[in-house]
Structure 1
Amino acid sequence: MATNPADTPNPASTPSTPLYRRLARRLQERIDAGAYPAGARLPSEPELSAEFGVNRLTVRQAVAELERAAVVEIRRGVGTFVRPPAVRVSIAVDPRSQRFDLGSVHAALPEAGREDSAADGEFVVAAPPVTGTAEDAEAARQLGRTPQELSRVDSVIRLGGRARAASSYWVPFGPLPAELVRPGRPGNLVLDLARTAGVELEYDWRAFGAVGADLADAELLDVPPGTALLVREGVSCTPDGTPALYVRRRIDGSSARFVLHFRER
């Protein structure tokens, strides 16, 4: 017997909730309960339409809603399949003892329990000129310099065989050595930039936020434009407090998390 998705009470639904969204929530509940496990193919549009007593457009809108939420994957001409749960790497941060800026690669996978991969690490993408974009202007403001005094290098961090983060670094010196900014060069750019400047870097501040992936980051991280990215930005300074590096790191929010440890480990 056909059932309307509005017939079953849902605490997240209200009378004004669109029918397709109520149906999407019913399907989400089935997925969460294991009725449609990871990798399973959802019933077809006609089957769902008949079961829930709604038209096919409503079903199509509901499935599109689940796709936007990264719950299902639509394979054109094949069907709609439940995505496996996101696997997240853990980036450990000890707020009591982390003083020296060692970069984020060295401790990026403390809990992953996997063998190291030669394809993992941080890799230079480009060294774009500092031209006065909004990001360049913010870096100049944070470092107390003019954009013309700064050098920039961009990188991607690969962990577990895939791109996890895109980073941009600005430093108040240059030009940077050609080998340091060679595209594809592996390394730890925080330490490499500190060595180039002949300084030791300490954390000044770090902040966390979120943005939607723009076209450039979407391409680097192989995610759809608009995907939620965690943003970790901040300034590192020399021991006397002089700002010496501004970093803006964008991390695929579906595959990473930050873990703060407040007790000795």
Structure 2
Amino acid sequence: MAGQADEDDSKRFASRRVANELRAAIEAGSYPVGAALPPYRQLAAEHGVAVNTAMAAVRLLADEGLVTSRPNAGNYVRDRTNQADPELELRALRTELGELRGQVRQAGGQLDAIDARLSELAETVARLEDQARRNGR
């Protein structure tokens, strides 16, 4: 069950990473206002993720109001110069907050695993040192 949670977290983190990379490209002008984003398959290939992960990344940007989706026509960069929708910003912040909480949980699990491995290694080192002392080395 923990494995499924880790897998879900890594997928969320991948979609957040792709969304962050797309956001940076939009802000840098690579995708100006009105420009179409690449199709999901192309985004997936460019970012080394699954198509569903690319779709989730674009959904995150849509939730933030950065892009808009047109049915059967793709996703386009929105003009946000006069946009001030606190509800969209709140939704994006809640999403990011949930993902950061997941990252903290995942890091905690990793720290526990690292600590357990360190303990195992310390016991092994102590045992081998004791054996070496007994053998006169």
TM-score (norm 2): 0.52
Q: CA deviation at 1:88?
A: 6.2
| Residue 81 of structure 1, aligned match among 69, 76, 92 | 76
Q: Deviations along 1:84-116, whole A, 9 cap, x unmatched? A: 123269xxxxxxxxxxxxxxxxxxxxxxxxxxx
Aligned match of 1:46: 41
Ranges of 4+ aligned residues in structure 1 off by more than 6 Å: none
Which structure: greater strand fraction?
1
Q: CA deviation at 1:52?
A: 1.1
Query: 5+ unaligned residues in a row in structure 2: which ranges?
Result: 1-9, 91-137
Higher relative contact order (CA 8 A, sep 6+): 2
Q: CA deviation at 1:228?
A: 5.9
Aligned match of 1:25: 20
Query: Residues 25 and 228 of structure 1: is their aligned pair in 2 closer, same or farther, counting only changes over 3 Å?
Result: closer
Within 5 Å, which residues of 2 pair with 1:191-206? none
- Percent identical among aligned pairs is 35
Query: Residues 228 and 24 of structure 1: is their aligned pair in 2 closer, same or farther, counting only changes over 3 Å?
Result: closer
| In structure 2, distance between residues paired with 1:54 and 1:227 | 26
| In structure 2, distance between residues paired with 1:35 and 1:21 | 19
Q: CA deviation at 1:20?
A: 0.3
Query: Residues 68 and 53 of structure 1: is their aligned pair in 2 closer, same or farther, counting only changes over 3 Å?
Result: same
| In structure 1, distance between residues paired with 2:34 and 2:58 | 15
| In structure 2, distance between residues paired with 1:88 and 1:80 | 18
| Residue 58 of structure 1, aligned match among 53, 77, 84 | 53
Aligned match of 1:68: 63
Within 5 Å, which residues of 2 pair with 1:99-248? 226-227=87-88
Q: CA deviation at 1:63?
A: 0.3
Query: 5+ unaligned residues in a row in structure 1: which ranges?
Result: 1-14, 90-163, 165-211, 213-225, 230-265
